[in-house]
Amino acid sequence: MALFTLWFGTAMVLLGFIEFGTSGLRSPLALAPTVLGLPLALFGFLNIPKARMAQSALTICAALALAGLVVSLGGFADVRAMYNEEKVANPIFAVARSVVGTLFLAYVVAAGIALAGRRKTARG
């Protein structure tokens, strides 16, 4: 899971810059995936050789991804408004935010499954 976290964090950093570009370089909220992706990548990098820190680091990464999901919720509302044929200020930015939110949701689920597996094997 550490290698996956490293790659996921790196992808979030890149997606954050892409999202910032689609916002017309006006929305600092668009950099949220970058701000949350940097610690994810760092925890993934630091956790690769140290299996003892894995559960704590994974819990922190899941909390960061959950924060990213909360920040991206506005994108889901904008996409729903677009589906109902309402006008949205920046449709590309809305879709980018919802894609990032979906990826954060997927990471939270994957981390939860990995943590549940670790707890089950720790109990014996």
pLDDT at residue number 124: 57
43-73: per-residue pLDDT in tens? 888 876 666 677 788 888 899 999 999 988 8
66: its two tokens = 């959950």
C-alpha distances (whole Å) from 47 to each of 10, 18, 27, 43, 78 are 15, 27, 32, 6, 36
Higher pLDDT: 63 or 30? It is 63
d(CA 90, CA 30): 12
C-alpha distances (whole Å) from 18 to each of 51, 64, 115 are 33, 20, 31
What's the pTM?
0.82
| pLDDT range class, residue 107, cuts 50, 70, 90 | very high
Report the chain's mean pLDDT, rounded to a whole number.
85
C-alpha distances (whole Å) from 122 to each of 9, 24, 53, 116 are 27, 48, 14, 10
Sign of CA dihedral 2, 52, 68, 41: negative
Is the confidence at residue 102, as pLDDT, over 90?
yes
First to last CA, the chain: 21
